Amino acid sequence: MGIIRKTKSVKTLLEVFEQADSALSVVELVERLHREMNKTTVYRILDRLEDDGTLHSFMGRDGLKWYAKCRGCTASQHTDAHPHFQCRDCGKTECLTLDVSIPSVPNRKVDSAELLLIGLCEECLL
């Protein structure tokens, strides 16, 4: 079930993602917003925003959950599949606009794919 009431906390989180240029880990969000809302609230709102097709989530290499804005998804059409890039030095994690063809596997039905690229970001390369 998605968002029904536009509470103060929901608005705050939407604004944070509006201004973010990269993906955000839940851990960072909880820390950054711990004066404005409870960590349980952060988890629950992210959950609902994902159901709505407003956000999408993925796992980083370390097992932490990350969220980022969807481009053109709805609750029924959650098809914004794209790779992500995680910097192994500073941790910065971004959505890539790269198109990746999802390979098919014999005798199996592939519904979705998660491609995480790991390396060094622009700044950490210098």
Partner DNA sequence: AAATTAACGCAACTCGGTTGCATCAAGAAG
Partner DNA sequence: CTTCTTGATGCAACCGAGTTGCGTTAATTT
Tokens 């969807």 locate to 70
Considering only 23, 24, 45, 70, the residue that binds DNA (CB under 7 A) is 45
> What is the footprint of Mn ion within residues 28-57 (CB under 5 A)?
none
Point out which residues pair with 55 in neighbouring strands: 69
Dihedral angle over CA of 69, 70, 72, 76, nearest 10: -130
Considering only 46, 54, 85, 93, the residue that binds its own copies (CB under 8 A) is 85
CA distance 75 to 50: 8
Shortest reach from residue 126's CB to Zn ion, in Å: 10
Q: Considering CB distances under 5 to 8 angstroms, the limit depending on partner class, which of Zn ion, its own copies, Mn ion, none binds residue 68?
A: Mn ion
Q: Does 95 bind Mn ion (CB under 5 A)?
A: yes
Q: Does 75 bind its own copies (CB under 8 A)?
A: no
Point out which residues pair with 56 in neighbouring strands: 68
Considering only 44, 61, 71, 74, the residue that binds its own copies (CB under 8 A) is 61
CA distance 91 to 23: 10
The closest of 47, 45, 68, 48 to 56, measured between CA atoms, is 68
Shortest reach from residue 62's CB to DNA, in Å: 8
What residues line the site for Zn ion (CB under 5 A)? 87, 89-90, 92, 121, 124
